[in-house]
């Protein structure tokens, strides 16, 4: 995957370049499927330090819109809070936190508008215990002309996501351990569960079953 991303990235011009080494790059049509409305989501990472045998990275999400033959930056995290925090060095030790990882989990017409796509980012950050995993669905808000989340989900320890398509259209499938409110991190209530998230007109995002994973409210993004 890393080799393919590097080859594809060499064929396009970014302004400015993604920081560090490009890990994954995907074309997405956030404003409709046409050559002049092509966007590109790029995950990259930069070495911030080394301790013992471990290398520590700052991860970045960069989203670009095509402008002629150049992709121009429209969104970057951690400058924007979603999904990455800024990695910092621990006091008195050669370790950096949070330890991060991420992938572009999928692309699809998740909000129901034909040809208008959203991009799904799954990420994990760990500073203690098993850390926190999250899945973010990012879209282009036409009224505000900005990239922002339409859905953010978090869970202790792990989450994985996939875009699916069935008779009801596109949906987001999310899998991970389920923790009841009083469950210890060592002992999930159910070791692995799957929920489906669908965008429903006049309702927003609906999770089925409804209780497995926490949907973040806009104020907590």
| Domain count for the chain | 1
How would you list the strands of the sheet with 54-67, edge to edge?
13-15, 70-77, 54-67, 39-51, 21-28
Question: Residue 221 domain-assigned?
Answer: no
**How far is it, in rounded angstroms, from Cα 75 to Cα 65?**
9
pLDDT number for residue 5: 46
Q: Over the stretch 13-42, which tens digit does the pLDDT of each residue have? A: 999 999 999 999 999 999 998 767 899 999
**C-alpha separations of 221 from 55, 164, 178 in Å:** 28, 24, 21
**How far is it, in rounded angstroms, from Cα 156 to Cα 187?**
11
Percent of the chain at pLDDT above 70? 93
Cβ-based neighbours of 130, under 8 Å, separated by 6 or more: 156, 157, 158, 185
Question: Residue 195 domain-assigned?
Answer: yes
Q: Which two tokens mark 107?
A: 């692309």
Question: In this predicted structure, which of 80-89, 110-119, 137-146 has the lowest mean pLDDT?
Answer: 137-146
User: Residue 139 belongs to what domain range?
Assistant: 2-216
**How far is it, in rounded angstroms, from Cα 199 to Cα 206?**
6
Question: Residue 117 domain-assigned?
Answer: yes
Pairing of strands 146-156, 214-215: antiparallel
Task: List 74's β-bridge partners, or say none.
Answer: none
Q: Which two tokens mark 93?
A: 């030790």
Taking the model in full, what pTM does it have? 0.92
Q: Over the stretch 138-179, which tens digit does the pLDDT of each residue have? A: 999 988 889 999 999 999 999 999 999 999 999 999 999 999
Q: Is 150 helix (H, G, I), strand (E, B) or coil?
A: strand
Question: Residue 171 domain-assigned?
Answer: yes
Q: Over the stretch 88-102, which tens digit does the pLDDT of each residue have? A: 999 989 999 999 999
């Amino acid at each position: 995957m890393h080799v393919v991303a590097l080859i594809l990235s060499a064929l396009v011009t970014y302004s400015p370049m993604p920081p560090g080494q490009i890990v994954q790059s995907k074309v997405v049509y956030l404003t409709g499927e046409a050559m002049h409305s092509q966007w590109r989501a790029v995950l990259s990472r930069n070495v911030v330090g080394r301790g013992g045998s471990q290398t520590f990275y700052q991860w970045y999400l960069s989203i670009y819109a095509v402008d002629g033959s150049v992709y121009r930056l429209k969104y970057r995290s951690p400058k924007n809070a979603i999904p990455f925090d800024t990695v910092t060095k621990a006091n008195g030790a050669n370790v950096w936190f949070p330890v991060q990882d991420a992938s572009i989990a999928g692309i699809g017409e998740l909000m129901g508008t034909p040809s208008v796509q959203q991009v799904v980012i799954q990420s994990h950050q760990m500073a203690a215990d098993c850390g926190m995993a999250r899945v973010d669905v990012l879209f282009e808000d036409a009224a505000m002309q900005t990239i922002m989340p339409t859905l953010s989900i978090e869970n202790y320890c792990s989450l994985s996501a996939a875009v699916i398509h069935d008779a009801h259209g596109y949906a987001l499938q999310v899998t991970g351990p389920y923790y009841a409110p009083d469950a210890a991190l060592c002992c999930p209530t159910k070791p692995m569960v799957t929920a489906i998230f669908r965008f429903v007109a006049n309702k927003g995002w609906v999770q089925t079953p409804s209780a497995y994973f926490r949907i973040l409210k806009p104020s907590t993004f």
